Chains A and B, each alone.
Chain A
Amino acid sequence: MQGCTIEEDETTGFSIRHGEHSLHVRAYDINDRMQWLNVIGDMRDYFIATSEQDSVGIHRTDSLDQGEGDSIDFLADIERIVGDIQAQSQLSVGGQPPTVEALSRLQLTAAAAAAAASKRSSTSAPTTPATPTTNTTAGSTAALTIGTISARASAEVADNAAPAAAASTASTAAPKALSPSRQARKPTVLVAKAAAGTFSAPTSPTTPTAASSTDPSLPTKKATDRKLSAEEIKDYALKTGGTQDDSANSKNVVFRQDGDNSVVLQFSVGDDGKEDKYTIAAGTLDQLVSRLADENNPDTGYIDIFLLTYRHFLSPAAFIDRV
């Protein structure tokens, strides 16, 4: 944006500054940062376009042609909106990074404000939510090994991880610096009550034939985790390019099952002995696709590697259908 500078900020991610005005944005990774910048740019264009058309709006139309003046007004309004969003306790202390949710609310708030100002229903923000974006099907349980796909540490993982087994296992991954809110979250041990499936079932991918009656993407129950057995660990080591000797390094492999969807995660251990990262080692097609737009653990690295390698087990047409 014209006249604006972007500054790094360790506590909030980054900030956009223009003179005395500054907008602090919570963005802890490049994915969130790019989404924020895109949305803010779109919102600015939206405000300008709306004001140009209707000569009314929440911005002064007489400042739109004054170069940097519109940026100042725009930042002031956006700063107010972001402040309102971050003032909500569930976003600031809920444990989950508020960036993307705040982003969506910011979009809705700005769109609603602009729509009300423009008094045009055709440009108002949508109110009808769409169906979930993942096309989940029943019966698609083929397990696929796609190598090592890095995933970012998450609060959910920290909650579900079993830290006891992590202390005695070597790992090459160094702990990633986490935000204070994430560091405050204490991992808890989740004990799987029953074996929830088998890992070694690599069959050919199945094409979805019919949608299930209930949407599996909705949380019917909390996902269950269980440790792999010794045989499964050996099988896992072989299927991921290792040998049986590597099974000692696979003790942190967790089989997570949520309904018909399963995914195998391999946790790594930081210097403090806690599991703070995980690698998606295998999963059903639905799980692998749904992890691309995971609401809890956004990870651009996983998206890049998936887009690079998905052709080994999925055609482009089948992939876009599942999206």
Chain B
Amino acid sequence: MAPDNATAEQKSYFDQWAKVIQVRTIGVVKKWIDNYYVDFDSDPDAYQGLVDFLEMAEEVTFFFLPRPFFLKKNKINKIKK
């Protein structure tokens, strides 16, 4: 959510670009995992930070997540149903 003290212009900018930045951020993290997973394998704090980030991203919008997360969500919903 945009901060409460944001101006109307800032809120408009936020509404316009928030989703774009979210998608690109997830893309950066995906590239990070694909190419340099050793960073998370060797650093427990970084791994926990990654888990927290993915959980936050899943709460925000699972639709933007990469396909494995996305299909997993559908599968879970199917099982629950």
Contacts and interface: CB of A to CB of B under 8 A. Distances in A.
Interface residues of B, number: 51
Given A123-B77, A293-B24, A316-B40, A42 B67 contact: yes
A205 interface: no
Contacts of A130: 1, 18, 22, 56-57, 60-61
Contacts of A315: 43, 46
A69 to B, nearest CB: 21
A301 to B, nearest CB: 12
B71 A49 contact: yes
A298 interface: yes
A46 B20 contact: no
A35 interface: yes
Interface centre among A108, A126, A293 (most CB of B within 10 A): A293
B64 to A, nearest CB: 7
Contacts of B78: 49, 53
B70 A316 contact: no
Interface in B36-69: 36, 39-40, 43, 45-46, 49-50, 53, 56-57, 60-64, 66-67
A16 B70 CA distance: 23
B43 A129 contact: no
Contact of B63 (A126, A131, A316): A126
A317 B45 contact: yes
Q: Chain A interface mostly helix, strand, loop or mixed?
A: helix
Nearest to A49: B74
B32 A104 contact: no
Interface in B4-20: 5-6, 9-10, 13-20
Contact of B1 (A100, A108, A131): A131
B6 to A, nearest CB: 6
A295 B21 contact: yes
A133 interface: yes
A292 B22 CA distance: 11
Report the contact-size class of chain A (Cβ under 8 Å from the partner): 35 or more
B81 A100 contact: no
Contacts of A319: 46
Interface stretch (A172-180, A213-221, A269-277): A213-221
Contacts of A31: 27
B28 A323 contact: yes
A292 B25 contact: yes
A307 B36 contact: yes
A50 B73 CA distance: 12
B19 A129 contact: yes
Contacts of A131: 1
A103 interface: yes
B33 to A, nearest CB: 10
Contact of B49 (A41, A133, A218, A320): A320
A316 B6 CA distance: 31
B77 A293 contact: no
Contacts of B32: 307
Nearest to A322: B49
B67 A100 contact: no
A128 B46 contact: no
A101 interface: yes
Contacts of B14: 129, 132, 218
| A-B pairs with lowest CB-CB distance, top 4 | A320-B49, A317-B45, A316-B46, A293-B24
Given A53-B77, A122-B77, A133-B25, 16 more contacts: A35-B23, A42-B67, A100-B20, A101-B16, A129-B2, A129-B14, A129-B60, A132-B18, A214-B3, A218-B13, A293-B21, A294-B24, A307-B31, A315-B43, A320-B29, A323-B53
5 contacts: A38-B66, A45-B71, A50-B74, A53-B78, A320-B29
